[in-house]
Amino acid sequence: MIIDLNSVEKNSAHKHYDVCLCGAGPAGITAARVLSKQGKKVAIFEGGGLEYSELSQDLYQGESVGLQYWDAVHSDRLRYFGGTSNHWSGRCAFFDKVDFEQRNYFGLPGWPITREDVFQFFDAACSVLDISREAFHASQVTKWNGENFRFSESTRSPPTRFGEKYYSELKDSSNIDVYINANLTEINLNKDLDAVTSFEIRNYGNQKFLFSAKNYVIALGSIENARLLLNCDKQVPSGIGNQSGMVGRCFMEHFNVGIGRFVSDDSPIWQQGRIQLNPSENMIRKLQIGNAILDFERSSHPISYGRLKKLKQTMREEVCKSEFLTGLSRNILDFDCPGDGLITSLIEQTPNLNSRVSLGTEKDMFGMRRVKLDWQANAADYKTIRTLGLEVAKEMARSGAARVQLKDFILDDTKDISEIGRHAHQMGTTRMSEDPRFGVVNKNLQIHGFKNIFVAGSSVFPTGGGANPTLTVVMLSERLGHHLAKS
Amino acid sequence: MHTQKDHRFYLGRRNFILAMFMYPFLISKLMADNKIGVGSPLFLDEEDGFVILGGWVLLKDDLIQNPD
């Protein structure tokens, strides 16, 4: 059933559920569907409506004080039914074995669970995301000729828009009630401060409703999960789950850094015009760096010089001798130089205590403090960026597939890496660790020190890996759903 | 990351022609920057059998060291 809380009379919505779950994005909907199939009664609370609205989206407004995040604090996330899947690109990729290992050079504990613990839910996640196991293997049509890198295995979801795909199923479900325009504004605790007694939910008329359950889940995304827990300071002044000061810490993104440019040969690997490489797991361990995807995209294929095109191509060659004119032609005239291309990247950042979500001073319409994001990179991150840039350039030269011109900040570590972008992959802030000093949730995604509240989504990632996070988020949510169903 | 040494490399005529064929943009770019020319001495960064020239990461085999 889908219930618009804006249309519900005050105090008429008291119900008791097996699980109260906040957030109707990929993590929340996936966990709720698992629970429903196991016969559990679930309430999903979605702060937005069925469609985008400025009123709801405004609650994501905040400030960014670290690395440039522009307006992404507000715009990368979508606050309505289906969540950020409503503008997801659909790329699905694996986290590698090395991503789950304890990499001591990162300075904080890694994943307390194994890759196998997560991947037992791979087939279920494929079904949720409309992808197939076989499609991953099909993405590797040839083998990369080199030791230090490998072709990136990935596939694309249509992409699955969770709100659209699962609307009818949720609406018709006898086990799931979806409340829209339902904003979680307080988490009420028992006297011992070790269990949740109710979720306080408000509609846009600021009317208050209380919902209770055996177990509670927040699945609001990395920024909002932390913001909510920090704002719930009525009974616990430092915020719920923040006894070690870890809520909001270790906010991670994937760095999007332009490594340089390349000129390619005419070998078959360039037939698609683009190749994506991961560093080998051995090289990651040996050089003590993060994981990544290095993305080589050719602007154009090498040209066959025909007689009729000679004049045009001669002009093109002349233009391509000048870096300035090349840039101009690429960006303005859509006129590429033969065989050249740009190298972009998706690079794992280290879990960094100083990279964090905290609360600003301004408040939203519900009186909750808005988010302050301080995204930071550190020396280990710069080492990963520079090392991967140089190593992939050498690998390309060895293979003969291309020659790479690196940006000056790759080769000269006295130059700042100022051109760090993001991938809208927000991770960390309620990281998973068996030791409460280094995390917010345990390996079952249960908040340390609390009996019945759990966190879903990429905020629990202890490290960010070198792959897009959605597939892993869905597998973890499947796992959480099964764990809660058993309990 | 790499050491800057005063190595003198010369681009051999045969490799120059091959390079022009395979990497026209690279070579023309380097020539435009006055960083490369047939018979010209070059000041290069070197590491592990690679030559770094104007930010380009090349194999030593891309160039031929002057026998002198």
Query: pLDDT tens digit string along A194-215?
Result: 999 999 999 999 999 999 999 9
**B8 has pLDDT over 80:** no
Record: contact A337-B1, CB cut-off 8 A = no
Question: Each residue of A382-417: pLDDT tens digit?
Answer: 999 999 999 999 999 888 888 888 898 999 889 999
Check pLDDT > 90 for residue B59.
Answer: no
Mean pLDDT of A310-320: 62
As a residue count, chain B comes to 68
Average pLDDT estimate for A44-52: 98
The answer, yes or no, to whether residue B25 has pLDDT greater than 80, is no
Please tell me the distance in Å from A109's CA to the nearest CA on chain B.
28
Interchain pair A404, B56: CB under 8 A = yes
pLDDT digits (tens, 9 = 90+) for A161-179: 999 999 999 999 999 999 9
Q: Which of residues 382-401 of A touch B (CB under 8 A)?
A: 386-387, 390, 393-394, 396-398
- Residue A111, pLDDT above cutoff 70: yes
How far is A433 from A447, CA to CA, in rounded Å?
Answer: 10
Say how far apart CA A199 and CA A152 lie, in whole Å. 42
Closest CA to A17 of A48, A37, A44, A47: A44
Residue A139: its pLDDT value, please? 56
Q: Which residue of B has its CA nearest to A384?
A: B1
Q: From chain A, pick out residues whose CB is under 8 angstroms from the CB of B24.
A: 317, 320, 338-339
- Rounded CA separation A280/A298 (Å): 23
Residue B4 has pLDDT above 50, yes or no: no
Residue from A403, A414, A415 whose CB has the most chain B CBs within 10 Å, to mutate: A403
> Could you tell me if A460 and A226 are in contact, meaning their C-beta atoms sit under 8 angstroms apart?
no
Q: Do A411 and B1 touch (CB under 8 A)?
A: yes
A318/chain B closest Cα distance in angstroms = 9
Lowest mean pLDDT among A73-87, B15-29, B47-61: B15-29
Taking an 8 Å cut-off on Cβ atoms, the answer to whether B23 and A394 are in contact is no
Helix orientation angle between A122-129 and A26-37, rounded to the nearest 10 degrees:
110
A334-358, pLDDT tens digit by residue?
Answer: 445 556 788 999 999 999 999 999 9
pLDDT, greater one: A12 or A232: A232
CB contact under 8 A, A406 and B57: yes
Contact A92, A154 (CB under 8 A): yes
Residue written as token pair 């795909």? A165
Select the residue from A298, A301, A315, A394 to test the B interface by mutation, using most B Cβ atoms within 10 A. Answer: A394
Mean pLDDT in residue range B9-32: 53
Q: Over the stretch A113-124, which tens digit does the pLDDT of each residue have?
A: 999 999 999 999
Assess B37–A contact: CB distance below 8 Å, yes or no.
Answer: no
- Determine the residue of chain B that is closest to A267 in CA distance: B22
Closest B-chain CA to A413: B1
The number of angstroms, rounded, from the C-alpha of A231 to the middle of its chain's C-alpha atoms is: 23
Mean pLDDT (chain A, rounded): 91
When CB atoms are compared, the residue of B2, B29, B58 closest to A323 is B29
Q: How far apart are CA A444 and CA A79, in angstroms?
A: 26
Spell out the residues 6+ positions from residue A406 whose beta carbon is closer than 8 angstroms to its own.
A259, A260, A389, A390, A393, B52, B55, B56, B57
pLDDT of the residue at B37: 52
Residue A308 has pLDDT above 50, yes or no: no
Name the CA radius of gyration of chain A, rounded: 24
**Does B18 score more than 80 pLDDT?**
no
The more confident residue out of A327 and A269 is: A269
- Whether residue A303 has pLDDT greater than 80: no
**Cα dihedral sign for A328, A332, A333, A339?**
positive
Q: Which residue has the higher pLDDT, A339 or A256?
A: A256
A323 touches chain B (CB under 8 A): yes
Return the structure tokens found at B35: 């960083």
Helix axes A470-486, A26-37, angle to 10 degrees: 30
d(CA A151, CA A142): 8
Residue A258 in this model has a pLDDT that exceeds 80: yes
Do A57 and A79 meet the contact criterion of CB atoms below 8 Å apart?
Answer: yes
Task: Select from B1, B2, B58 the Cβ nearest to the Cβ of A403.
Answer: B58
Q: Which of A340, A394, A405 sits opposite B55 (nearest CB)?
A: A405
Q: Which residue has the higher pLDDT, A137 or B31?
A: A137
* Residues in a beta bridge with A199: A187, A211
> What integer pLDDT is reported at residue A317 of this predicted model?
65
pLDDT band for position A143 (cuts 50, 70, 90): confident
- Would you state the pLDDT for residue A312? 56
User: What's residue B44's pLDDT?
Assistant: 57
- Assess: ipTM above 0.85: no
Please report the pLDDT score of residue B51 as a whole number.
Answer: 78
Q: Residue A159, preceding bond cis, omega within 30 degrees?
A: yes
Tell me what percent of the residues of chain A surpass a pLDDT of 70: 89
The whole-number pLDDT of residue A136 equals 79
A411 to B56: CB separation less than 8 angstroms, yes or no: no
Q: Which residues of A touch B32 (CB under 8 A)?
A: 321-322
- What are the chain B neighbours of A406 within 8 Å (beta carbons)? 52, 55-57
Residue-level pLDDT at A59: 97
Residue B43 pLDDT more than 80? no
Q: Residue B65 above 50 pLDDT? A: no
Residues of B in contact with A317 (CB under 8 A): 24, 28
Residues in chain A within 8 Å Cβ distance of B50: 394, 397
**Which residue in A108, A56, A47 sits closest to A250, CA to CA?**
A108
pLDDT at residue B64 is higher than 70: no
